[in-house]
Amino acid sequence: MNIFNKGVERMIDEFNSKHFTLKKVKHGIYAAIAKPGGGAVGNAGFVDLGDQVVVFDTFNTQQASEALRDAAEKITNQRVTCVVNSHYHGDHIRGNQSFKDIQIISSETTLEKMKDIHPPRIKKQKADIDGLTQYIESLEKQLDETGESALQDQVSFLYEMKRSLPDLELTLPNETFIEEKSLQGTKRRAKMFTLGGGHSFCDAMLYIPEEKVILMGDLVFVHCHPTFFEESDPKQWVEILQEVMELDIEMVIPGHGPIGKKEDIDKMIQYITHLLSSQHVDTPAIPPLFNDWSSPEVYFQNVKKVKSEERT
C-alpha cells in the first residue's frame, strides 16, 4: 500500500460524523452509511473516477451533505465535479444545495417530480417550525418517561430537520438524462442509468463496471424492510431488479442499511415476490429469511399496501 492509500485509510478510520459512517467499498469507491438520529436518513456514496469525483445522492439535510462533500474532497484530494440524484425523495436530494456550484444530474422524471412536489412541501415545513418544536417537546416528555432508544433517535433526527429548515433551499438538477449517461474518467468509468420506476416514479443507479460495484438508491434495502410509497410499483420493481441481476456485480451500496452484495439484490426480489404472493393471506407472517431485519412493523405496512393496490 503506497503512502497516499495509507493516508486515505487513516482518514477513513479517523472520520467521525453524527450523520453517517464512511466505508471504503473498493479502491476509489466509498459508501456513506446513514446513522440513526442524524441528518442523513438515506445512504449516499462517492466515486473517484481519476479526474472526476461523482457523488451519488446528498442526504436529507444540508448539514449532512456539507459533511459528505468535505469527506469526499478530503478522501479523493480533489473537488467533487458531479452529483447524481437517484430519485426525488427528500432523504436523497435535500442536501443538493451543498453542491449547487457544480453539475447535478438526474433522470428527467426525477427533476419533474422534484419541481412539482418539493416546493409546497418545504414551504409548509418552513411555515410550521413552531409546530415542529412543540412536537419535539412532546416526544422529549415521552422519552423522559420511557427512555426508549428509538424515541431518542427520532428526537435527534427532528432536531436536525429543525436546524436545516431556515436555510434550506431546494436545489434542482441542472442536467438530465432519459435512460442512461456515462462518465469516463482516467481511472474508471461510471454509468448512470434507469430502468423506470419501482420504489419511486423513476429510480436511477450508478454502476462502476471495472470494480463490479453498483449504487442502487432505494431499489435495494439491506437487512431492513423497504419502504413502499403510493407510487411504488412492486411488479415493476421486481422486473428492474431481475434485469440488474444480469450485470457483473460484487458489491451493492443500498439506499438504506449496510453495504451489501449481489445476493442482497436477490433477497429484495424474494421479499417483494413474497409480498405479492401474500396479498390474499389474512394473517401473514414474516418469513425466516427476513425475520432479523430491522423495523419489522414496516413489513406489515407493506403487506397492507400491496393488498390495497390489488383492490384498486
pLDDT tens digits, 31-54: 999 999 999 999 999 999 999 999
- Residue 26 host element (H or E): strand 20-26
| Model pLDDT, residue 278 | 75
Say if pTM beats, i.e. exceeds, 0.85.
yes
Indicate whether 141 pLDDT > 80.
yes
Question: What's the CA gap between 238 and 266, in Å, rounded?
Answer: 9
CA 78 to chain CA mean position, Å: 24
Indicate whether 293 pLDDT > 60.
yes
| Model pLDDT, residue 7 | 72
pLDDT band at 1 (very low <50, low <70, confident <90, very high): low
What is the tens place of the pLDDT at every residue in 194-216?
999 999 999 999 999 999 999 99
Residue percentage of the chain with pLDDT more than 90: 83
What is the average pLDDT across 133-142? 96
Question: What's the CA gap between 110 and 102, in Å, rounded?
Answer: 18
Q: Where are the beta strands (DSSP E) in 134-226?
A: 175-177, 180-184, 189-194, 204-208, 213-221
| Model pLDDT, residue 3 | 54
Indicate whether 2 pLDDT > 60.
no
Indicate whether 190 pLDDT > 90.
yes
What is the average pLDDT across 293-308? 86
Query: pLDDT averaged over the chain?
Result: 94
237: which residues sit within 8 A by CB, 6+ positions away?
198, 199, 219, 272
| Model pLDDT, residue 14 | 76
pLDDT band at 281 (very low <50, low <70, confident <90, very high): low
CA neighbours closer than 13 Å in the CB half-sphere of residue 115 = 10
Residue percentage of the chain with pLDDT more than 70: 95
286: which residues sit within 8 A by CB, 6+ positions away?
296, 299
